[in-house]
Chain A
């Protein structure tokens, strides 16, 4: 309710204590250090699952960043829209405790509560075990991921990727 003045919302999802599941949170932490236009808000969505629906309410455009099995080599990411993806898994076992992006998006869709534009950046994880660090491959892809999200948000603030230790050019071709 209090966020409706922001046109675009970027939400990073995941648990930083579960290895690469923390990639979305790490990405929004990096995004939060950038100077963002007043119309863009960045939120660390953690693992609150269905709360994503309430967070998205009233936004025109939402960009989500999450660990996902997007059929890419570990460490690489894919950009897609809700319409482009078919979410796997049995609805019979819909669970709120692990309710992630899939469940939230399906429920929002069923209730006709999806924003007009929902873009997802899914990062293929290497591991999701208890660990408070990202894998080297996912860590290496972060700068490109952040750059891609910024480009998506049409933020022309010139991200200096040379400041980051590694770049992963493979991803640029994937998009």
Chain B
């Protein structure tokens, strides 16, 4: 084979924006072109926030992504709170962590069961899987329901975290409700065991490529909210210095910017968190890592999905602990923040399911947003996806083109990219019309 031209047209992208291509061009066994474009960053992010009151920012930005509504809202609130000098209470911090776990669980379960498992089981999509293994898909939906109900309990509504506000919560769960949720989380351990057992049977492709892994880090916990920016190349930055890590630059073939730090690219997401924060994982999650044979630093991108499974166990176990802590101290109504007539600038960061996310706001003395910036995880992964593709293609050139295409799709899917995650659009053809 002297030329491979793989043009994968991912329908749900093309029908929305005309993007979503993987282009691989090999001539005489040499890779001459290897490009990818998937995600369109929220281009009008700043425009939609400029001039709006600070308290609206989290509600507006939570709509950017249907999967990461809480992630965006939390990063947004942390940016606002930092800008305005708002201290949050221990109760608020605990509740935010619990809510964040709910969303991480929901997102990871979706990815592992609905995308990764069908890929590995060779059934193409979750639809044939529903026919051949309905119990597997029903288990996924059951776990998703638990995660969704956890989010609804803390955030006030299933779809959007409406109860989360600057400095706290407008609605609080009761201890009784939290303890009932704990019972369900404990009962879900059986589903967790079956999830891990399923994943252990999947044939993970062998593909190693060293890169830099970037995530949040805290000394005493597996960091999802706040902390410092840490990399596996040994760098550490405080959040206001996020631009020293992201270094966004334009590339000719894509409207999306690329990010790089110490190398040609870096990776964010579950595998990056695992590599930087293995020590802070819950012991039961560490035990799963052992079962998978994973020890940091793991350099196989495909294992990002396995890292997600490890995090599923971590999030359930840590949620149980968080509820115990909340029940122990009791839930109290707390006074909400009142604007003090002084603006400022703040950076908020969360490690959302797909990786580290940054919101950066400048708020004026009237409480209106002057400037806003947002850097999403998938945007940071672009350069690393392309570097992975450039490394993988020469290794599999002897395979049929169909197989190459499939491997490339699996590779990109392993990143769990937020493929234009905010729009869904239904195409319908009427029968007999």
Contact = CB atoms under 8 A, between A and B. Distances in A.
Interface stretch (A78-86, A134-142, A154-162): A78-86
B160 interface: yes
Contacts of B225: none
B360 interface: no
Contacts of A101: 424, 426
B178 interface: no
B130 A110 contact: yes
Interface stretch (B23-31, B82-90, B108-116, B168-176): B108-116
A148 interface: no
A17 B118 CA distance: 31
A61 interface: no
Contacts of B110: 49-50, 96
A92 B410 CA distance: 12
Interface stretch (A30-38, A67-75, A164-172): A67-75
Contacts of A102: 426-427
Contact of A86 (B13, B157, B158, B428): B428
Contacts of A99: 114, 424
B69 to A, nearest CB: 7
Given A54-B144, A96-B114, A97-B67, A125 B428 contact: no
Nearest to B42: A130
Q: Is the interface of B mostly helix, strand, loop or mixed?
A: mixed
Nearest to B45: A130
A128 B425 contact: yes
B44 A66 contact: no
Given A15-B423, A17-B48, A107-B126, A48 B158 contact: yes
Interface string A103-130: 0001100110000000010100100101
Interface string B415-432: 001111111111111110
Given A21-B423, A47-B66, A53 B141 contact: yes
Nearest to A66: B426
Contacts of A93: 10-12, 125
Interface residues of A, number: 57
Interface in B377-433: 417-431
B425 A67 contact: yes
B427 A88 contact: yes
A54 B65 CA distance: 19
Contacts of B279: none
Nearest to A16: B63
A49 B418 CA distance: 13
Contacts of B422: 15, 17-18, 21, 47
Given A47-B66, A132-B48, A69 B424 contact: no
A68 B428 contact: yes
B187 interface: no
Interface of B: 10-13, 15-16, 40, 42-44, 48, 60, 63-67, 69, 110-111, 114-115, 118, 124-128, 130-131, 134, 137-138, 141, 144-145, 148-149, 157-160, 417-431
